[in-house]
Structure 1
Amino acid sequence: MITTALYLTIAMVVLAAVLNLYRLIKGPDEPDRVLAIDTLYINAIALIILLGITLGTRMYLEAALLIAVMGFVSTVAMAKYLKQGSVIE
């Protein structure tokens, strides 16, 4: 029963990632594309955690934390770039 729920969850997260890719490509302006990339990072984190649960290892949790930190920093950098025109003052 739990494996069925796990595979169903993986399918839903993959569908969400595909929809985020669509918004990334067809986004009307740059802030929408930045939000699509941010949500894509979240979907990648979810997929990595689900893979770790499926394989029964904790190694993938460290990779998910690394992607979370990189996603946060890149989102903040992109938001600052869109607002001020430069990242480093």
Structure 2
Amino acid sequence: MDNTLYTAGLTIAAAFFMLSFIFTIYRIIVGPNSIDRLLGLDGTVSMIQCSMATYICWTLDTTVTNFMMVIALLGFISSVSVARFRKRDGA
């Protein structure tokens, strides 16, 4: 594969990640209730993992895989804890 084509593909992927980060951060800030904010947080965690995978492809450096595992675990724990201890928004 051509190196410039590979770099262009990763650059486009990074640009899409930045755009989706903006949308999910907006969803976290403006979300009308806590479930919308939780979905935005889950989306942000997923995008951080995908961004780290793109970084691995770009630099061929696999030292961030431990960071990816920690982010996945924290995302799971935060989702479960919010779902477990959530109270109704209107009550």
TM-score interval, smaller chain: 0.7 to 0.9
Equivalent positions of 1:1-89 (< 5 A) are: 1-82=5-86
Question: Aligned residues: percent identity?
Answer: 25
TM-score by length of 1: 0.87
One-letter code aligned to 1:39: G
Greater than 6 Å deviation, 4+ residue runs? none
**Shift in Å at residue 51 of structure 1?**
1.1
Specify the alignment match of 1:87 in structure 2.
none
**Count of aligned pairs:** 84
Question: What secondary structure, in the 3-state scheme, does the structure 1 residue paired with 2:78 have?
Answer: helix
After superposition, the C-alpha distances for 1:9-45 in whole angstroms (9 at most, x for unaligned) are 0110111111000000110111100110111100111
One-letter code aligned to 1:34: L
